[in-house]
């Protein structure tokens, strides 16, 4: 059974000037333990999709949604708000772009960690929470957990905060992890280390991952399957290797050409818009 299945998801915002549709019918699925990437440029609708899955967008006014988001057999879009919220932080969790600004600057790590643990175990004592947090920090290769727990986020390095974010995200053993451009704010070596760590942990725990990124190099290393999104539409989908070997959609090819080569050759020339980019979905068959 799929952990997550999104069918024909449409999102529009009601504005004073009329209704603007942002997502034009997105469908994707993530099997248990599968790592799936959603790739596209900024404004394509990838981050918004993650926020709809979490139910964050629904709480804003003027948001209209249609379609289905089935998570572990339940349609999240049809759940009453209270039950939808209960899923957050327990069975679905999220990692954000910039770890240091995603942690509250006026609280130490320990109470923030405890609050996350309390989502799944409300009656956890302070001492037990601390012990559990130290264990989880050990999993993300933070050796001196006691010092880190008593620190404020600004006293720790970006890489350290990213490890803390990963530990928090997996603390309640969620079935689905949404990773929205994780570590984009970090430098490349730290980003590679923390992504490697994250992959190891999600494989160990059998966590499904929706990995949102514009960085094709990272996606290729991380994801089993990839969806390419362009202006609110999925334009190409299939096993990551198949897409990278044989990109068939004009936009996918443009996206790949847009990656500057380490060997030089200048910045590639990509058209801003092209009718080819709006061509219908291309689906690669199952992985070989």
Name the site residues for another protein (rule: CB under 8 A). 54, 56, 61, 85-90, 93-94, 96-98, 101-108, 115-116, 119, 152, 154-156, 168
Judged by beta carbon, residue 96 or residue 277, the one nearer another protein is 96
Judged by beta carbon, residue 106 or residue 262, the one nearer another protein is 106
Judged by beta carbon, residue 86 or residue 203, the one nearer another protein is 86
3-state DSSP percent of the chain in helix, strand and coil, to 5: 40, 25, 35
Minimum Å gap between C-beta 261 and another protein is 32
Cα→Cα distances 51→46, 75, 115, 123, 227, Å: 9, 15, 21, 28, 17
Judged by beta carbon, residue 177 or residue 243, the one nearer another protein is 177
Point out which residues pair with 13 in neighbouring strands: 20, 63
Minimum Å gap between C-beta 250 and another protein is 34
Minimum Å gap between C-beta 154 and another protein is 5
β-strand 92-95 against 74-75: which pairing, if any? unpaired
CB-CB contact of 215 with 262 (8 Å): no
Cα→Cα distances 278→12, 28, 179, 232, Å: 19, 18, 27, 10
Minimum Å gap between C-beta 131 and another protein is 20
Judged by beta carbon, residue 51 or residue 231, the one nearer another protein is 51
- 140: DSSP letter: T
Minimum Å gap between C-beta 155 and another protein is 5
Q: How many helices (H) and strands (E) does the chain have?
A: 11, 11
């Amino acid at each position: 059974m799929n952990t997550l299945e999104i069918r024909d998801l449409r999102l529009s915002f009601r504005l004073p000037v009329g209704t603007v549709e942002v997502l034009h019918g997105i469908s994707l699925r993530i099997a248990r333990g599968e790592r799936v990437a959603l790739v596209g440029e900024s404004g394509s609708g990838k981050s918004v999709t993650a926020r709809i899955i979490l139910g964050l967008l629904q709480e804003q006014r003027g948001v209209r949604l249609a379609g289905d988001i089935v998570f572990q057999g339940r349609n999240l879009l049809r759940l009453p708000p209270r039950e939808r919220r209960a899923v957050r932080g327990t069975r679905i969790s999220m990692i954000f772009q910039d770890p240091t600004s995603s942690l509250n600057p006026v609280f130490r790590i320990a109470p923030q960690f405890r609050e996350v643990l309390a989502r799944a175990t409300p009656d956890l004592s302070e001492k037990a929470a601390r012990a559990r947090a130290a264990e989880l920090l050990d999993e993300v290769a933070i050796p001196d957990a006691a010092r880190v727990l008593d620190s404020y986020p600004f006293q720790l390095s970006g890489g350290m905060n990213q490890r803390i974010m990963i530990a928090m995200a997996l603390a309640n053993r969620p079935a689905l992890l949404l990773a929205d451009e994780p570590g984009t704010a970090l430098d490349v070596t730290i980003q590679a280390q923390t992504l490697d760590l994250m992959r190891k942990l999600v494989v160990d725990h059998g966590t499904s991952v929706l990995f949102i990124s514009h960085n094709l190099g990272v996606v290729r290393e991380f994801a089993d399957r990839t969806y390419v999104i362009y202006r609110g539409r999925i334009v190409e989908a299939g096993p990551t290797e198949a897409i990278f070997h044989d990109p068939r959609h004009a936009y996918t090819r443009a996206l790949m050409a847009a990656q500057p080569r380490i060997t030089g050759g200048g910045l590639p020339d990509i058209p801003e818009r092209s009718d080819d980019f709006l061509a219908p979905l291309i689906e690669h068959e199952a992985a070989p």
